[in-house]
Amino acid sequence: MTKAEIAKAFSNGTFDKTYDHIAEDAIWEVVEENMFVGKKAIVENCNLVAAYFKSVTTNFKTLHVISEENKVVITGTAEFIREGKRVSFVSACDVHEFNDQNKIERITSYCIQSQ
């Protein structure tokens, strides 16, 4: 997978495709919400988020993929629907930083949630 494909998969919630591409000492910061330090903590959180995604209908839209050197920025939206009703809507920007082994070393997520 290319860096852009890895970043897009992560941002669109298909986390399991990205696990081999996360550095052991990676950091995932969800600005103003949470920080996950180390691959193990990131994978554990991804598994929780993936379980939530299975409990709702998800509609992900990727708006932009910007790639330069070791950084990939993904912007997009996510709509979550349960029983035909919107549960929430998120506008997001994820900044993925890769190390020299093409593994994610840092993700900074900016998320604005509404209903």
Return d(Cα 40, Cα 110) in angstroms, integer: 22
How high is the mean pLDDT of the chain?
96
Cβ neighbours around 24 below 10 Å, total:
9
Instruction: Give the number of other CB atoms < 10 A from CB of residue 83.
Output: 7
pLDDT tens, 75-94? 999 999 999 999 999 999 99
The pLDDT value recorded for residue 114 is 84
Q: What proportion of the chain, given as a percentage, has pLDDT over 90?
A: 97
CB-CB contact of 22 with 39 (8 Å): yes
Question: What digits encode the pLDDT tens for the residues 31-60?
Answer: 999 999 999 999 999 999 999 999 999 999
- Give the pTM: 0.92
